[in-house]
Amino acid sequence: MNCEECELLLAQNDVSSQVDAHVAGCPNCRALAAELQANAHALRALGEEMMPPLTVPERGIPWWKWTSAAAALIITAGAAWWASRPVKPPQIVSVDVKVTGIVAQAKVQPIPSVIPETLTPRIVPAVQVAQTEPLRVKMLTPDPDVVIYWLVD
Amino acid sequence: MKEAMQAAAGEISLEIEQTRSQFSFDELVALHQQRVLRTAYRLLGRVEDAQDAAQEVFLRLLKNLHRIEDDPQAWLYRVTVNICNDRYRRRHIVMEPALDLADPAPNPERVLELEERKRLLTQGLQTLPERERAAVVLRDIEGLSTREVATILDVEEVTVRSQISMARVKLAKYIRGRK
């Protein structure tokens, strides 16, 4: 029996006469046998130790949830403010008058309104057309999507 | 414990599953917590890692509670070993001093010798291949039978005996080399 075989048999707690004979004549295996015995005791002692109790980490709300909630709040508040803001009347920046009926040449009285006086046409040319149509006044505002028409009968 | 684990995992719907099981989660945690923690600590060698592994084990238990029909101890050991092996492979090994968990005893010299041996064993366990480490932890530290260890590790009993023998010899030589 060589030392390697003896070591494995010692580790299996083999107490055969062959092992005893080898250990008796082999200081290395004798020392190993003593270590194995001491280890068996220490390993059992490790199994009797009490561990600190299991702790469950407190997990806060992830950062992305906070930021998402904050973004949603800001967007909602912004939309609410936008919807509730006072609506300003459109500001007229130019007036374009087109006479489509038979109208005698005359001075157009200044319109007492918010229309800037500089934008009020002084002279409206008379245009001969086949059919009488209402006077059309087109007013432009700073918003290109907002155009005001006056139809004057 | 259950609520905390659920909150930690973001799991809400597991309550229904638990009611189908014959085992109470809280009871199982109370009963097996020390075994799971101790096994994880011996397999990983670090208390924080053992805590993390144990949390993962009990989260899996919570999810799979309704499927466990036999004694959950073998299931818990198996899952603990698997989780610890996964974590052991992933992590960078950093040894820490052995946890001082021993009770005071009357003979200081023998206590010191035993504590030193336990510390060295804790270190030596980390040098073993994972299968040998798992086998010796379950057999020699947890005190399970060879058959139970074979069932948990899903290997033959003869394989477990061989792994344990090699592990014991390696541990003995490890300690001899550091005396």
- Same domain, yes or no: B46 and B60: yes
DSSP B65: G
Please indicate if any CB of chain B lies within 8 Å of the CB of A37: no
Domain ranges of chain A: 3-48, 94-152
User: Per residue in A108-151, pLDDT tens?
Assistant: 555 555 556 666 555 555 555 555 667 777 788 777 888 888 87
pLDDT of residue B101 exceeding 60, the answer is no
More confident residue, B10 or B154: B154
Dist CA A151 CA B39 (whole Å): 92
The whole domain housing B80 covers 1-96
Count of domains forming chain B = 2
pLDDT score at B65:
83
pLDDT score at B18:
46
- Same domain, yes or no: B91 and B24: yes
Closest partner residue to B51 among A11, A45, A55, by Cβ? A55
Please indicate if any CB of chain B lies within 8 Å of the CB of A41: yes
Average pLDDT over residues B112-135: 90
Average pLDDT over residues B138-151: 92
pLDDT of residue A58 exceeding 80, the answer is no
CB contact under 8 A, B117 and A40: no
Mean pLDDT, rounded, of chain A = 76
Please indicate if any CB of chain B lies within 8 Å of the CB of A52: yes
CB contact under 8 A, B169 and A32: yes
- Same domain, yes or no: B159 and B147: yes
Tokens (6 digits) for A109: 């009285």
- Same domain, yes or no: B11 and B92: yes
pLDDT category at B163 given cuts 50, 70, 90 is very high
Please name the residue of chain B whose CA is at the shortest distance from the CA of residue A32.
B172
Domain boundary among B48, B72, B96: B96
- Same domain, yes or no: B77 and B2: yes
Closest partner residue to A54 among B55, B102, B172, by Cβ? B55
Looking at residue A45, its amino acid is A
Mean pLDDT, rounded, of chain B = 80
pLDDT score at B113:
82
Average pLDDT over residues B137-145: 92
- Same domain, yes or no: B92 and B135: no
pLDDT of residue A42 exceeding 80, the answer is yes
* H/E stretch holding A88: none
Please name the residue of chain A whose CA is at the shortest distance from the CA of residue B38.
A51
Dist CA B43 CA B20 (whole Å): 33
User: In Å, how far are A69, A103, A131, B143 from A39, measured between CA atoms?
Assistant: 58, 121, 119, 14
CB atoms within 10 A of CB A67: 10
pLDDT of residue B139 exceeding 90, the answer is yes
Domain boundary among B96, B122, B148: B96
Q: What is the CATH number for B65?
A: 1.10.1740.10
pLDDT score at A115:
59
pLDDT of residue B20 exceeding 60, the answer is no
Average pLDDT over residues B93-98: 52
More confident residue, A52 or A129: A52
Structure ipTM over 0.90, yes or no: no
